[in-house]
Amino acid sequence: MATIATRVVEGLGLGHAKLHALSPKHPSPFLGKKLRSQSLSLPSKRAISNLVCAAGGGFFNLVHDVFLGVGVGLPCTVMECGDIIYRSTLPRSNGLTLTVPGAVLALGALSYLWATPGVAPGFFDMFVLAFVERLFRPSFKKEDFVLGKKLGEGAFGVVYRVSLAKKPGAKEGDLVLKKATEYGAVEIWMNERVRRACANSCAYFVYGFLESSAKKGSEYWLLWRYEGESTLTDLMLSKEFPYNVESMILGEVPDMPKGLERENKIIQTIMRQLLFALDSLHSTGIVHRDIKPQNILFSEGSRTFKIIDLGAAADLRVGINYIPKEFLLDPRYAAPEQYIMSTQTPSAPSAPVATALSPVLWQLNLPDRFDIYSAGLIFLQMVSKKYWYVAYCYYFYLFIFGKETQLLNMILGILPRPATSCT
């Protein structure tokens, strides 16, 4: 190393010395080039000029040779370890590589995000649809309506048929207005969720608002589009049931004599509409908890039965109106358990966390069966007007022995309704 440094000094300090790179006879432990000096005659002026022009490039080459000669540089460059050549021979991927474990993991994640009640749809509804809806929805006050006929009164409020006061072309009573005495905020939340997710399952909700006054305090008002007055209870009280519903849901009276086959067709149509409406509610995470004939409305426009009165409903996607050890129900139609989920279930956390965990809780508790039990009792009530003993025996047999699939098939018409025996 001292010899190389001495030669460098001589090459820089003497006019008669010039540096040359020679190939060694034996391999050097360095990648640097060995240097030696060679005596030359004094250069001419022209040679000196050419040397000055090339001094820049030669100087940098000299510095590079010195650094490599003393072993200063990247390890693989100095030591010739061959790592550069090894890495250059490795296969290079220009895109994503699909593997079986990766595909299974991706499919599992997608299945979880769209599993009932729906994590991905829940976040989209919460942060996108709800926000956009608030920007464009209309706003009303109580003074904007002219009260008409009183349609009904229940435990949670009073319902009126109304029309807009400032809309000259509006039909008389083309809207329904409810003053909620309890659970008004909850019912507004549920109806807005249903309108965005499954509007055809329930009566079409228009708007909900809160009004405060010094005399009456705060009152919640809810507004729906008028779709009809007849509930399933009203229709079932008629002696002509189920034939009085036939023309309403089928549009025409079939050319066949009255009898069991004709009644089966009518009742199966009613139950099919009710179960499809419940399925839409459950798929978005809402359990009604108060399914009964009084809360099933016949829509004259669509010729279908729709669900009303969501004041007792629980939104299990985000945990709204759900308290583990409390329940809202009608004991005449409620399941014996009285709870939609285990009482050991903790209270709902924040909405994003509850949404992320909702598929797990749903699969562990299957809360939708609460409403299906109530629907089964309605089915029993409809068929029991003439065949109550046969229907009760068959329904009891299917439910007690866990044959829910046969029960649903019977309701939907895949199996006939029993007519003569209780087996």
pTM surpassing 0.75?
no
The reply, when asked if residue 178 is annotated as ligand binding, is yes
* Residue 30, pLDDT score: 44
**How many Å apart are CA 237 and CA 231, to the nearest integer?**
10
Nearest alpha-carbon partner for 71 in 30, 99, 125: 30
Measured in whole angstroms, the distance separating CA 140 from the mean position of its chain's CA atoms is 31
**To the nearest 5 percent, what fractions of the chain are helix, strand and coil?**
45, 15, 40
* Residue 279, pLDDT score: 95
What tokens does 371 get? 């409403």
* Residue 415, pLDDT score: 40
**pLDDT values of the chain reduced to their tens digit, one per residue, 423 residues:** 444 444 444 444 444 444 444 444 455 444 444 545 444 455 555 555 555 455 555 655 665 665 555 555 555 555 555 555 555 565 666 666 778 888 999 999 999 999 999 999 999 998 899 999 888 888 888 889 988 888 888 777 899 999 888 765 555 568 999 999 888 999 999 999 999 999 999 999 999 999 887 777 788 999 999 999 999 999 999 989 999 999 999 888 888 888 888 998 999 999 999 999 999 999 999 999 999 999 999 999 999 999 999 989 999 999 999 988 887 788 888 888 888 988 888 888 888 899 999 999 999 999 999 999 999 989 988 887 655 555 556 556 666 655 555 555 555 554 444 443 333
**How many Å apart are CA 156 and CA 328, to the nearest integer?**
12
Beta bridge partners of 304: 299
* Residue 8, pLDDT score: 41
* Residue 228, pLDDT score: 92
If residue 18 lies in a helix (H) or strand (E), which one and from where to where?
strand 17-22
* Residue 417, pLDDT score: 44
What tokens does 121 get? 């749809």
What tokens does 248 get? 């309403």
* Residue 418, pLDDT score: 42
* Residue 329, pLDDT score: 82
Name the residue ranges covered by the structural domains of the chain.
2-88, 134-412
Check 65, 125, 290, 371 and give the catalytic one: 290
What tokens does 328 get? 């809202």
Nearest alpha-carbon partner for 286 in 205, 357, 189: 189
* Residue 79, pLDDT score: 52
Q: Please compute, for residue 158, the number of CA atoms within 13 A of its CA located in the half-sphere on the CB side.
A: 8
For the beta carbon of residue 30, count every other beta carbon within 10 angstroms.
19
* Residue 331, pLDDT score: 85
* Residue 14, pLDDT score: 42
Annotated active-site residue 290? The verdict is yes
- State which CATH number among 1.10.3720.10, 3.40.190.80, 1.10.150.120, 1.10.510.10 fits the domain covering 134-412: 1.10.510.10
